[in-house]
Amino acid sequence: MQRRSRGINTGLILLLSQIFHVGINNIPPVTLATLALNIWLFLNPLKSLYNSCLSVEKCYQQKDWQRLLLSPFHHADDWHLYFNMASMLWKGINLERRLGSKWFAYIIITFSLLTGVVYLFLEFALAEFMDEPDFRRNCAVGFSGVLFALKVLNNHYCPGGFVNVLGFPVPNKFACWAELVAIHFISPGTSFAGHLAGILVGLMYTHGPLKKIMETCAGMFSSNVAYLEQRYYFNSSGYSGYQDSYPYGRPGHYAEVPRNYDVYTAGLSEEEQLERALRASLWDRGNGRSSPSPYGFRLSPEEEMRRQRLHRFDGQ
């Protein structure tokens, strides 16, 4: 595996352009920090790709465990970085706003490590069952395994609807599996086991014991067992801050927090979900039916009528 060639990094330029188009102030802090870390390590890698990629031979047999930390945040070239971070941008905005920054940061750290562990297990199992030692030498880098895990979470919180995969409509609940296969038709050199590991980690969180284990571990290292939810309030130029709150007003309760707006409607694109979230946050901040819109943001008469109907519905 060779280090990318130096020159004009078109993928990096496009990524930075997309970030600034969205607006740095519109990107929640953990998502922004994750993007910044990956870009920084792309420009200033801690080690070469050969010394940071993850394989059974290097990590398990030679006990080079630091690769579990290094491999997710190193990328083979600028396009590898671009596609991963462009996906992280939208998934991070949706999930961090829903889960809160503290819990989302916990998820990123856990998924980054656990995806690597599951990848090693899959490659080791393939080497043993197929009696093919080359699987132990397969070396992978990049954030895409974590992104597949986050995609499972995103589809779990936004059930229903369809996505387009190679021109075919696929139900959201099967989208990860369809994309897993599609990516390896389009780009056979990618790590099938690495992407599969991400899906399995995501399923361990949504349908397995991982979430409960994470909640238990969070309680062991904190005086408050409940993790804090962070609610973001947006103005026309980005989020203006957040406040910490306990779900249902008391610590120790992990049930979903009810929302009085439909941010995560099934079938909406990521861009449409972002636009609706921004508008719904403005509505949610209103102090009354006739109160002016916050932050100097003026709603059209039709939007004002819909806001009033929303408040009437909430009061029933």
Residue 29: CB atoms within 10 Å: 15
Distance from C-alpha of 302 to C-alpha of 295, rounded to nearest angstrom: 19
Burial 211-238 (b: 16+ CB within 10 A, else e): beebbeebeeeeeeebbbbbbbebbeee
Annotated catalytic residue, options 101, 144, 191, 281: 144
Q: Give me the catalytic one of 71, 112, 195, 281.
A: 195
User: Is residue 144 annotated as a catalytic residue, yes or no?
Assistant: yes
Measured CA distances, 133 to 57, 99, 128, 195 (Å): 9, 41, 8, 20
Paired tokens of 110: 């856990």
56 closest CA partner among 161, 154, 126: 126
Nearest Cα residue to 84 out of 65, 96, 71: 71
How remote is the C-alpha of 196 from its chain's centroid? 16
Residue 75 annotated as catalytic? no
Q: Is 131 left (phi over 0), alpha (psi -120 to 50) or beta?
A: left
Catalytic residue numbers read: 144, 195
